[in-house]
Amino acid sequence: MGIVAISQTLGSLGDEIGRELARTLSWEFADREIIAQAAQRFGEGLMALEHVTEEKPSLWDHFTDTKRRYLTYVEAIIFEMADRDDVILSGRGATLFLRKVRHALRVRITAPERVRASRVEHQHEVTSDAALHRVRQNDRERASNVKFLYGADWDDPLLYDLVLNTERMDVKEGARLIQDGLRNERVQPTPESRAEVKDLSLTVQAKAALLAHPLTRDLHLSIGCKDRRLSVSGMVEREELQRAAEEMLGQIPGVAGVVSEIVVVSTRRAPVGI
3-state secondary structure of 169: coil
Task: Note the pLDDT tens digit of each residue in 135-166.
Answer: 999 999 889 888 888 889 989 999 999 999 99
> Would you state the torsion angle of the CA atoms of residues 22, 26, 28, 29, taken in this order, to the nearest 10 degrees?
20
Instruction: Say yes or no to pLDDT of 269 above 80.
Output: no
pLDDT in tens, 104-140: 999 999 999 999 999 999 999 999 999 999 999 999 9
Measured from the Cβ of residue 200, the count of other Cβ atoms closer than 10 Å reads: 19
CB 223 within 8 A of CB 232: yes
Query: What gap in Å lies between CA 53 and CA 69, rounded to an integer?
Result: 12
Domain 3-187 of CATH type 3.40.50.720? no
- DSSP-derived letter for residue 248 is H
Residue 217 DSSP SS3? coil
As a whole number of angstroms, the distance between CA 195 and CA 181 comes to 22
User: 274 or 200: whose pLDDT is higher?
Assistant: 200
Cβ atoms of residues 135 and 115 within 8 Å? no
Nearest alpha-carbon partner for 237 in 260, 224, 221: 221
pTM: 0.84
Helix (H) or strand (E) holding 191: helix 191-212
> Cβ(93)–Cβ(10) under 8 Å?
no
At residue 52 the predicted structure's pLDDT band, cuts being 50, 70 and 90, is low
Instruction: Determine the Cα–Cα distance for residues 37 and 78; give it in Å rounded to an integer.
Output: 10
